[in-house]
Amino acid sequence: MKITLTDNWQQSYWLIGLYYLVLLIIALSWTNMDLVEPNVLLRYFFLLAFVLPFIKYPNIAPAIITLFVTIRLFSIAPFGYLPSQVNLYLYFAVVLYLYNISNGLSSSKTTILLILFFLTILLSNLINFVSESQGSGEYNFLKMLLISIILGKLIKNQKDIDLLELSFIIITFCLSIYGFIFYKEIAANYNAPEDIKRIYWNDPNYLGCVLSIGIVISFYRFLTFSGISRIYRIFYLATFIFGIINLGFFASRGAFVTTVVPLFYILFTKAKSLKSILLAAITICIILFLILNFSVFNSLMNRFSNDTIDSGSQRTIIWQRSFDLFNNSDIKTLILGGGSNFSYQLCGRALNSVTTSPHNNYLEILYDYGIVGLFVFVSLLGYWFKHNSKNIIGTSLVLVLIISCLTLSPLMYLPFWFLILLIDKQALKENGGL
């Protein structure tokens, strides 16, 4: 039996959207900041309700999983109705892909470099006898890459990509609302003396970078989508403004730069006439005026001017010392790395501690998977950059990934693999789908 998605999807679009809107409201309603889990029976019912529509519409799975899992992982509550284990979503992805094949549905192709990256990581782990942690999402690099590859098989056309982009917009909107509602409570409970008025319920650097994805997509859609209704334009603009304000709350230099560079790229790329260039210049001046004159951005500006800017909050020290250690490694480690999590051990030794994050995904990949792994990853970024040369939003998202990896290790979190999924499937826009 073959399932015809097109007609059914058009007829059920709003019904499915309303269904998941209700589930999203339920998910967002759990805001208990203590170590308290929802009732286990409710969690099972929620999980069942979450996956049931995938049986008929497997193509919506990447977007819906991106939306709900990201909000679950970056919610202000340590627990929620949806599970957060990486293994579970790997099983989901595999089952959905096999279901997709069994029903005779076509699957999109996977970029060869992504497959090569997977094989390089697998080889490094096998050679170093490394088994990735079962309990922590931070160390499931191989599994998260596999989730991204498999879910990518379910994305088939422009509509699926648009839905995935919309998911990131909704994520930014919802998490920004969290920031407004719980600003005072979170700032009072979690601020260190040196970070006055800086709020975070999760690491503000990674949370800010998650918001940056939706901010960039919202900004692009607001500027470029013609013929859309006024309500959509208002939603995109609100998401952009709310997200920017929350970046001020988080006071993350890395997240701010990760957001601003793609925004300027969009502005200047769209500036193809004297009028549009003037508009771009005015927009930049307005953004700078708001940042420099509104108190919500004071903490962010202070962090750009304080003493930690020189060393990047000790990042440059970690990079220098850890690279010196790695540079003296044996030839096998230099070529194929020490396997997953080796970078944390190496940086820990560099700072005389147990484990320390490299705070740089390029160095993390180099240490874990060697020169070969880093070469494949950088080649992948170059491939995406080249093949999105005429795709403004595609290039902007590649910039988000490239810049965020400079001072952070975003690929330790599953949502950034969803970003990779979105970037990799941008090619379907130009090719018109499968």
- Asked whether residue 10 carries a pLDDT value surpassing 60, the answer given is no
- Asked whether residue 27 carries a pLDDT value surpassing 50, the answer given is yes
Q: Stretch 245-250: mean pLDDT, rounded?
A: 85
* Per-residue pLDDT, 196: 45
* Per-residue pLDDT, 112: 94
Strand, coil or helix: 174: helix
* Per-residue pLDDT, 250: 81
Using pLDDT thresholds of 50, 70 and 90, give the confidence band for residue 313: low
For 88-149, give the DSSP string. HHHHHHHHHHHHHHHTT---PPPPHHHHHHHHHHHHHHHHTT----SS-GGG-HHHHHHHHH
Whole-angstrom Cα distance, residue 387 to residue 399? Answer: 13
Q: Stretch 16-28: mean pLDDT, rounded?
A: 95
Whole-angstrom Cα distance, residue 126 to residue 339? Answer: 8
Q: Stretch 235-245: mean pLDDT, rounded?
A: 91
| Radius of gyration of the CA atoms of the chain, in A | 22
* Per-residue pLDDT, 2: 44
- Are the C-beta atoms of residues 120 and 373 closer than 8 Å to each other? yes
- Are the C-beta atoms of residues 96 and 61 closer than 8 Å to each other? yes
Using pLDDT thresholds of 50, 70 and 90, give the confidence band for residue 8: low
- Are the C-beta atoms of residues 383 and 113 closer than 8 Å to each other? yes
Using pLDDT thresholds of 50, 70 and 90, give the confidence band for residue 297: confident
- 110: closest CA among 60, 58, 65, 155? 155
> Does the CA dihedral 125-129-131-132 come out positive or negative?
negative
Greater confidence, 306 or 318?
318
Using pLDDT thresholds of 50, 70 and 90, give the confidence band for residue 5: very low
- Asked whether residue 23 carries a pLDDT value surpassing 70, the answer given is yes
Greater confidence, 195 or 427?
427
* Encoded amino acid at 218, one letter: S
> Does the CA dihedral 53-155-213-186 come out positive or negative?
positive
Residues 173, 176, 180, CA angle at the centre, nearest 5°?
135
Mean of all residue pLDDT scores within the chain: 85
Residue 229, classified by CB atoms within 10 Å of its CB into exposed (0-12), middle (13-18) or buried (19+), is: exposed
- Are the C-beta atoms of residues 140 and 121 closer than 8 Å to each other? no
* Encoded amino acid at 181, one letter: I
Whole-angstrom Cα distance, residue 252 to residue 256? Answer: 6
Residues 366, 369, 372, CA angle at the centre, nearest 5°?
80
Whole-angstrom Cα distance, residue 20 to residue 50? Answer: 8
- Digit-coded pLDDT (tens) for 127-168: 999 876 544 444 589 999 999 999 999 998 899 999 999 999
* 26: its two tokens: 């339920």
Whole-angstrom Cα distance, residue 403 to residue 169? Answer: 20
Out of 95-109, 126-140, 282-296, 374-388, least confident range:
126-140
pTM to 2 decimal places: 0.90
Whole-angstrom Cα distance, residue 57 to residue 162? Answer: 16
